[in-house]
Structure 1
Amino acid sequence: MTDLDVVALRNAFDSQLRPEAPDPVPAGVTVERDGPLVRVRGMFGRGFLTYRDLDGLRGDELTALIERQRDHFRQLGEPVEWKHYAHDEPADLPDRLRAAGFAPEDEETVVVGPVASLAATMPVVPDGVRLREVTARADLDRIAAMEEEVWQADRSHHAGMLESELAAAPDGLTVVVAEETDGGRVVSAGWIRYERGSSFASLWGGATLAQWRGRGIYRALVVHRARLADARGYAFLQVDASDDSRPILQRLGLVAITTTTPYVYTP
């Protein structure tokens, strides 16, 4: 497999990273199976449905599987996300999800690229900003506050979830903040998960305060985390990229392998 072989990278992504269930399972999180689906509760404010493939289910059998998930979370009174990829089969899966009451959110592009070339560079931040790896709850709360300012929505559950993940597997992820050297305000943050039993590490977060955008902070966070992955022997980085971050990541050498859309049912 070459670094830019899109089909091979997508196959490796499917076989090594899906289903996207936490391992080990943090406190307060439950993981259940329903046929080919993995059902996760207790992470980031809503349930999560993931799978490697759907075992060839089609027609009424597939509809029944979808409706069981909807009914399960309706009884719990909790929203749930079905994470759909553009190359998933069957082709009419999105139509069946919508018919069952799942609504699509913004599409993201899954990008993958080699660690080594990024790790060979140094992260460069603008004057007045430093990068720091954090584990303390106070720092995680500061990340959540920064994200709330960016997205104008509640992100308090992010701090609790990251704290639980760090407690369950201290070596399973690293959380990095970009903060002002004068006063310590968090202006951006991202974390990296070292996916067990795979050649991939995955990048998350990256929200940046408006006044600090366009100054290389996101790029610096990516490079810093690539160096962490390289030190642990990982070959590839994977990111579910927004339209804002995708061009930056592609300039850094990552390539698009598919797209992903969250379909969300809200009771």
Structure 2
Amino acid sequence: MRIPADALPEGVFYERDGPVVRVVGTHLGRVRAPRDLGVAGAQLDGLIARQRDFFAARGQGVEWKVRAHDLPAELPERLVAAGFVAGEPAAVLIGPAAEVAGKAARAAGKAGGAAQVNGRAGEVGREPDGVVLRRAVGAQDMRRIAEQQTRVWGFDCSWVADDLTGRVTADPGQITVLVAEAGGQVVSSAWSVYQRGTEFVALLGGTTVPQWRGRGLYSALVAARAREAVERGFRLLHVDASPASAPILRRYGFQEITTSRHYQWVPPA
């Protein structure tokens, strides 16, 4: 799952440097690495510096995700010494798709959210209060999702539109993007990425605007994506969960296997 053979969006490519793979052509450079880099000390410092300097030459920042069980254990401190800044840790959760689908759907119904959504994930469903859950299609939908994500997080997420559009264009079968709309506004959104060659579907993006929280929309989108995973023959779900999401997902059958943390370097202003 760390270095999947995705169908890449136009303009995005992988470039290998020893044990790591650089993801080039996205809004922010990314480094994908195996669990054990197989280098330490000065060799590790050189590997880190090459990734930083490669993206610096492109005028970009770069992000390196580290799991708590990754090796060598000195990797986080070496990243910080090279100018990378540690983000907040996330809980890496794994859940059985069939169990999650049932528990999340029941929770959504109890909260008054999305109880009317039946059948294949992403088909149009309408709640009594007028919220519509549907599959997102086209560049305009992706722009509206990016705007909604920006409202939720409070920083610029405009890049999300190009990222989602590029993924769908490259291979519609590798991603499902869902939205919940109320009054013509996107109030919740989420997507899932199918990790071909594995049993896993990654759940990403799940966010709801503050005034619509507590109504079951987040749970409904989890249930819809879990149900589609089952229908498509995937057994397990994977989430890097925030402290807000992790307790909810644990109630649906997810278990924590480790933690992850993003280390990010940005060019000096």
2:139 corresponds in structure 1 to 137
Deviations 1:152-185 (A, max 9, x none): 21111101110110011111110000111xx221
Runs of 4+ in 1 over 2 A off after TM superposition: 118-124
The aligned runs of 1:114-129 (5 Å cut-off) are 114-120=96-102, 122=105, 124=109, 125=113, 127-129=129-131
Aligned partners of 1:205 and 1:25: how far apart in 2? 19
Q: Secondary structure at the match of 1:178?
A: strand
Q: Secondary structure at the match of 1:256?
A: strand
2:82 corresponds in structure 1 to 100
Match of 1:50 among 17, 26, 32: 32
Which letter does structure 2 place at the counterpart of 1:188? S
The aligned runs of 1:227-246 (5 Å cut-off) are 227-246=227-246
Deviations 1:69-105 (A, max 9, x none): 1111111110000111110011111110000011101
2:153 corresponds in structure 1 to 151
Contact 1:133 1:174 in 2 (8 A): yes
Aligned partners of 1:54 and 1:101: how far apart in 2? 22
List alignment gaps of at least 5 residues for structure 1.
1-16
Aligned partners of 1:222 and 1:167: how far apart in 2? 23
Which letter does structure 1 place at the counterpart of 2:215? R
Aligned residues: 247
What is the percent sequence identity of the aligned residues? Answer: 47
Aligned partners of 1:151 and 1:18: how far apart in 2? 26
Which letter does structure 2 place at the counterpart of 1:150? V
Which letter does structure 1 place at the counterpart of 2:95? G
User: Which stretch has the larger CA shift, 52-61 or 184-193?
Assistant: 52-61
Aligned partners of 2:48 and 2:36: how far apart in 1? 11
1:13 corresponds in structure 2 to none
1:59 equivalenced with 2:76 (yes/no): no
1:3 corresponds in structure 2 to none
Which letter does structure 2 place at the counterpart of 1:106? E
Deviations 1:165-213 (A, max 9, x none): 0011111110000111xx2211010001011110000000111101011
Aligned partners of 2:242 and 2:263: how far apart in 1? 16
1:178 equivalenced with 2:160 (yes/no): no
Deviation at 1:143, TM superposition (A): 0.6
Aligned partners of 1:157 and 1:262: how far apart in 2? 18
User: Which stretch has the larger CA shift, 239-248 or 54-63?
Assistant: 54-63
Match of 1:83 among 52, 65, 77: 65
1:31 equivalenced with 2:18 (yes/no): no
Contact 2:179 2:189 in 1 (8 A): yes
Deviation at 1:120, TM superposition (A): 3.9
Q: TM-score, normalised by structure 1?
A: 0.89
Q: TM-score, normalised by structure 2?
A: 0.88
CA, structure 1 residues 244+22, in 2 after alignment: closer, same or farther (shift >3 Å)? farther
Aligned partners of 1:136 and 1:257: how far apart in 2? 36
Which letter does structure 2 place at the counterpart of 1:217? L
User: Which stretch has the larger CA shift, 130-139 or 76-85?
Assistant: 130-139
List alignment gaps of at least 5 residues for structure 2.
115-128
Alignment RMSD (CA, Å): 1.4
Deviations 1:114-149 (A, max 9, x none): 011133464542633221011211111111111111
Q: Secondary structure at the match of 1:69?
A: helix
Contact 1:36 1:53 in 2 (8 A): no
Q: Secondary structure at the match of 1:171?
A: helix
